[in-house]
Amino acid sequence: MAVQRVNVSQEVLSSYIRMSNLPPEMLSKDIPKIDKILAGEISPTFKQLSKLANIINVPTGLLLLGEPINFEKIDLNFRTVDSKIIDEMSPELRDTILEMQEKQDFLREEVENEISFIGFFNYEDDIEKVINKAKSLLGNNNFKNRFETYRKRLNDLGIFIFLNGKIKDNTHRNLDLKEFRGFVLSDKKAPVIFINQKDSKSGQLFTLIHEFIHLLYGEDDLIESVEFDKHGKTEALINRITAEILLPSQLIHTEFNKSVNIFENIDSFSKKYEVSKFVVNRRFLDLKIIDFFKYKEINETLSKELEDILKLKKKSNGGNYVNNLKFRMDRNFFNYVENAVNENRLSYTDAFSIVGVGYKGYKILSNRGG
């Protein structure tokens, strides 16, 4: 029996493969004749086409169209960063934003009540009022296990928080920390914070609080850079509020040790309060403990340290899959999905898709696996 082949557009296939950002050798390994298919020398079988669609994470039907469609629906305020247009948004960043938008769209239909503090302030309001409001919502004097404590607190307030270092469960599509650290999608009913899991623990904490502050102003945001002094006035204000929450000025004045050098002080505050050394260094500058030249000198040293740390992190394995999956998924979000499935309002297939896992991952999140 002759093999049934499907007529497809090489332009369409090439376009979606390019957007997937997958290495050519991976495609060649899974689909040995992909080069001939893309060159138009042979047509793919439907099985090959379905396999390709699964690998590059697009519906098979899209590969059968006569031309590629633009499915980017990104209409966020963070299309500009550092006053520059994001011309070359990576496929990984784009797809992460689209994934979070899909989750948010689902949640809007499930969540009943609006959150009163979203968009509570504007930029003319007194900064101390914003700081006090943020502290009251977060709970005062939380200095141990801060990320977990604040994440749970914000979850309880109705904010959905996700982490990942890749696209869904695709280990071939890693997120780039140099491109972004996280972002927030503001919404009265279903605000979503996403944090790049490639970042350090202290970096993740900073992103969590930074994006929470943006929610108080009711706006979307993308954090691009690790450094403090690459942003405009708005980001400088948000950074200032975030830093005051993470490391209050009163604590610094009380605990700064004049008998040891500046690096020992930075290290001490960083470890005790679980914040990055960049945050401590910036606080010392803002409080006039050091001058700008010393600040820049220290920042250069810290940047080199960070590069070495991230290189080591990159070489390490991904850790325990079960624990990692549970950590990066927002539990409240999954509960909404599971409830919809149990009430026959959502199929298992759609649930797997919206959560971004397969059957095994869904079982783990349901506490029936792992």
Question: For 168-202, how does the pLDDT look when each residue is reduced to its tens digit (9 = 90+)?
Answer: 888 888 999 888 999 999 999 999 999 999 998 99
- Same domain as 41, residue 187: no
> Does residue 79 sit within a domain?
no
276: pLDDT strictly greater than 70: yes
- Same domain as 267, residue 152: yes
**Domain limits at 328?**
321-365
Distance CA 78, CA 117 (A): 21
How distant, in Å, are the alpha carbons of 204, 210, 256 from that of 100? 17, 18, 41
- Same domain as 348, residue 300: no
Please choose, from the candidates 243, 226, 344, 353, the residue with its C-alpha nearest in 3D space to the C-alpha of residue 287: 243
pLDDT band at 80 (very low <50, low <70, confident <90, very high): very low
How distant, in Å, are the alpha carbons of 166, 251, 316 from that of 312? 18, 32, 6
Taking only the tens place, the pLDDT of each residue in 23-74 is: 777 788 888 888 888 888 898 888 888 888 878 877 677 787 777 765 555 5
> Does residue 339 sit within a domain?
yes
Asked which of 315, 330, 353 is the last residue of a domain, the reply is 315
Mean pLDDT (whole number) for 241-265: 96
Angle at which helix 262-273 crosses helix 292-315, to 10 degrees, equals 50
- Same domain as 299, residue 161: yes
- Under DSSP, the state recorded for 123 is T
Distance CA 344, CA 353 (A): 16
> Does residue 76 sit within a domain?
no
> Does residue 85 sit within a domain?
no
Amino acid at 146: R
> Does residue 5 sit within a domain?
no
The continuous run of DSSP H or E covering 164 comes out as strand 160-164
Q: How many domains does the chain have?
A: 3
- Same domain as 302, residue 212: yes
Distance CA 149, CA 195 (A): 16
- Same domain as 165, residue 251: yes
> Does residue 73 sit within a domain?
no
- Same domain as 285, residue 340: no
- Same domain as 101, residue 195: yes
pLDDT at residue 143 in the model: 85
% of the chain with per-residue pLDDT over 70: 88
> Does residue 80 sit within a domain?
no
- Same domain as 343, residue 279: no
pLDDT band at 8 (very low <50, low <70, confident <90, very high): confident
By the 10 Å C-beta count (0-12 exposed, 13-18 middle, 19+ buried), 302 is classed as buried
- Same domain as 224, residue 199: yes
Mean pLDDT (whole number) for 347-367: 92
* pLDDT, mean over the chain: 87
> Does residue 305 sit within a domain?
yes
Which tokens belong to 113? 């009540």
CA atoms within 13 A on the CB side of 229: 11
- Same domain as 304, residue 327: no
